[in-house]
Structure 1
Amino acid sequence: MALNLAKTVINFLAQKPEEKFTARQIAEWIVETYPAECHEKQKRSKAIVTPLETQAALLQQIIAEIGSQRPRLQKKYPRIKTTEGRPRKYYFTEKSDADEVASAEIPECPDSLTPGKEVSIKESDLYPLLSEFLWSELGIYSKRIDEKRSSNARGPGGNKWLYPDLVGMEDLSADWNREIRDCVQQYADKKTTLWSFEVKILINRSNVREVFFQTVSNSSWANFGYLVASEIEGAETLKELRMLSSLHGIGFIRLDVNNPSESQVMIPANERVEVDWHTANRLATENKDFMAYIQLIRQFYQTGDVRSADWKVS
């Protein structure tokens, strides 16, 4: 019997709702479950392989076909969704885009989880992972900004979309000769860039514009502004982000929660040449965490040294 790859993929995902699989994982299951049909499929292809190469070539053929059929598959079966970034993952869900966001942002109580079920992740769990990635891969010192520590002097909603989740500082002078650093300090030239990060668990079509413009709002003071998420669902969502980024200069990082060093800067941010110190003044005046961040930057300019212990995110 000929293998109907699309139907097989759909049935596999539908039997495991909400679980995410790479094309390789799906292909491995298909080859293991339907060996005769897969080898017959390979025979009908024009690929010429040696016996030793047969299994690997068959697996790669199935992986490639799953990828090539993805757009048509998702158009015909909207409940089949994919994440973006490396590696892309496929999954089946009955939830709407808005319901997926709501589920991601309201973690379940661990006591209510069934054995073996993955524990929901909270947004705050992403902060130290992002901090690890920023330091190890980009050389950026980061600090947490807790909006709850703000004075809220402007009343309800007065601080909405004002504070980012994390802020950062890049030491542009880290590799400079000491004489150059001292000279620049006296010359009052720029030897840092300041960064702002808004963190989300999931971005899809239902919330992409809201979270993007939240990032625009609370990063307007910084040299670089980034939206960060552990999951981004759908090629159209990423396309929307690219379009918005081209207009507003905000970048996007997909955070790998299992291996932060494998996170991706999928859309680089555009640099703003000057920091908006007027906005920074408001943030520092109304929030103790942001004031501490500014004090660390001032100390760096005064001493030329950065104490890593001052930049821990937990």
Structure 2
Amino acid sequence: MALNLAKTVLDYLQNNQNRKFTAREIAVWVYETYPEECQEKKLRSDSLQSEDDLVQQIVREIAAQRPRLQNKYPQVKTTEGRPRKYYFTEQSESEEVDAAESQPRNDTTSREPKTKEHDLYPLLSEYLFTEFSLYSKRIDEKRSSNKRGPNGNKWLYPDVVGMEDLSADWHQEVKDCVGQYADKRTKLWSFEVKLLINRSNIRECFFQAVSNSSWANFGYLVASEIEGSDTLKELRMLFSAHGIGLIQLDVDNPTESQILVPAKERLEIDWDTANRLTVENRDFMDFVKLVRQFYQTGDPRATDWDYKID
């Protein structure tokens, strides 16, 4: 009996609502659950020489059937980036965002451990140091003076900031020369972090990143999950117009995170805005102090930053 792969995938996702699976995870389940149908499929093809060949062929077929499956069943959704994950949900996009941000970590209704936004900050710091040798610090908006009314700080402070030491490999003579010449030994970075970005919160997340990163050389929006190809398409359009970059954070292996859209560099720091943040937030003041100390000593003092090598 031939395997109806589309129906099989749909049934599997429906029976595991709100859980996310890669195409390969689904294909392995199909292979293990329907061995006779899969062997029949293998016998009909000359190119499938091994079990792994067969699983990979099922992966390709799942990917090929995805657009039609989603058109017929809007509850079937996918994340963007690598690896793409498939899931079935009855929740609206705004309800998904609310669930991602509010579900307790010890929720026993899900078989997957719950990640909260706060959990992403150290993972991002690890990725930034490993990939870019970037020294980063968490900025907590709750440590700010509350002069701007409800949610006023939301549009002012980034979640994470970073310093890039451009002179790490320079000769000491060059460092001394640049120190006397101009402020060109660092680039300062700013990051706005989200658990989930989809069509319901895409513009708020993006323009929050624009607002909170206006002072820095590089501004990035960071997300652990991006749902839907339309979301990623709109993000790319917005980023090309405003220069904010996009990082997809791999929570299982932070060093495998990826820049989906590189940020455009601003050549100069907006020191007026940086001063405003410094005056009103103790975390940002600590960050500025570390940058100043680096210029005074030439030593970034890695132990003062969030990510530390064991």
Is this a same-fold pair by TM over 0.5?
yes
Counterpart mapping for 1:277-292 below 5 A: 277-292=271-286
**In the alignment, which residue of structure 2 is the partner of 1:214?**
208
> What is the CA-CA distance between 1:158 and the residue it aligns to?
3.8
Alpha-carbon deviations, 1:113-158, whole Å to 9, x = none?
25x7333222111111111111111111000111111112344444
Counterpart mapping for 1:153-172 below 5 A: 153-172=147-166
d(CA) in 2 for partners of 1:143 and 1:108? 25
d(CA) in 1 for partners of 2:151 and 2:180? 42
Counterpart mapping for 1:249-264 below 5 A: 249-264=243-258
Alpha-carbon deviations, 1:27-71, whole Å to 9, x = none?
1111222222223334444x435xxx2322211111111111112
Are residues 313 and 124 of structure 1, via their aligned partners in 2, closer, same or farther at CA, if it must alter by over 3 Å? farther
Bigger mean CA offset, 278-287 vs 156-165: 156-165
2:112 is aligned with 1:113: no
**In the alignment, which residue of structure 2 is the partner of 1:40?**
40
Aligned AA for 1:139? S
Aligned AA for 1:301? Y
**In the alignment, which residue of structure 2 is the partner of 1:138?**
132
Are residues 297 and 85 of structure 1, via their aligned partners in 2, closer, same or farther at CA, if it must alter by over 3 Å? same
> What is the CA-CA distance between 1:160 and the residue it aligns to?
3.5
* 1:149 aligned residue (143, 146, 159): 143
**In the alignment, which residue of structure 2 is the partner of 1:298?**
292
Bigger mean CA offset, 56-65 vs 150-159: 150-159
> Does the aligned pair in 1 maintain the 2:144–2:282 contact within 8 Å?
yes
Q: TM (normalized to structure 2)? A: 0.95
d(CA) in 2 for partners of 1:191 and 1:302? 12
d(CA) in 2 for partners of 1:109 and 1:300? 38
> Does the aligned pair in 1 maintain the 2:105–2:115 contact within 8 Å?
no
SS of structure 2 residue aligned to 1:173: coil
Cα RMSD over matched residues? 1.7
**In the alignment, which residue of structure 2 is the partner of 1:55?**
51
SS of structure 1 residue aligned to 2:155: coil
> Does the aligned pair in 2 maintain the 1:142–1:312 contact within 8 Å?
yes
**In the alignment, which residue of structure 2 is the partner of 1:14?**
14
Are residues 155 and 38 of structure 1, via their aligned partners in 2, closer, same or farther at CA, if it must alter by over 3 Å? closer
Q: TM (normalized to structure 1)? A: 0.93
> What is the CA-CA distance between 1:109 and the residue it aligns to?
5.9
> What is the CA-CA distance between 1:260 and the residue it aligns to?
0.8
Alpha-carbon deviations, 1:196-245, whole Å to 9, x = none?
00011111111111100100010001010011111111111111111111
d(CA) in 2 for partners of 1:109 and 1:67? 31
> What is the CA-CA distance between 1:159 and the residue it aligns to?
2.8
SS of structure 1 residue aligned to 2:194: strand
* 2:72 aligned residue (67, 72, 76): 76
d(CA) in 1 for partners of 2:163 and 2:61? 44
**In the alignment, which residue of structure 1 is the partner of 2:93?**
97
2:21 is aligned with 1:26: no
Aligned AA for 1:244? L
2:242 is aligned with 1:248: yes
Bigger mean CA offset, 119-128 vs 164-173: 119-128
Alpha-carbon deviations, 1:265-304, whole Å to 9, x = none?
1111111111111111111111111111111111111111
> Does the aligned pair in 1 maintain the 2:129–2:307 contact within 8 Å?
no
Q: How many residues align?
A: 308
> Does the aligned pair in 1 maintain the 2:135–2:307 contact within 8 Å?
no
SS of structure 2 residue aligned to 1:7: helix
d(CA) in 2 for partners of 1:216 and 1:103? 25
Aligned AA for 1:59? V
2:267 is aligned with 1:268: no
Are residues 109 and 27 of structure 1, via their aligned partners in 2, closer, same or farther at CA, if it must alter by over 3 Å? closer
d(CA) in 2 for partners of 1:141 and 1:252? 19
Alpha-carbon deviations, 1:141-184, whole Å to 9, x = none?
00011111111234444434100000000001111111111111
2:229 is aligned with 1:230: no
d(CA) in 2 for partners of 1:91 and 1:99? 15
SS of structure 2 residue aligned to 1:159: helix
Alpha-carbon deviations, 1:245-271, whole Å to 9, x = none?
111111111111111111111111111
d(CA) in 1 for partners of 2:116 and 2:151? 23
SS of structure 2 residue aligned to 1:193: strand
d(CA) in 2 for partners of 1:195 and 1:152? 24
d(CA) in 2 for partners of 1:118 and 1:55? 28
Are residues 117 and 157 of structure 1, via their aligned partners in 2, closer, same or farther at CA, if it must alter by over 3 Å? closer
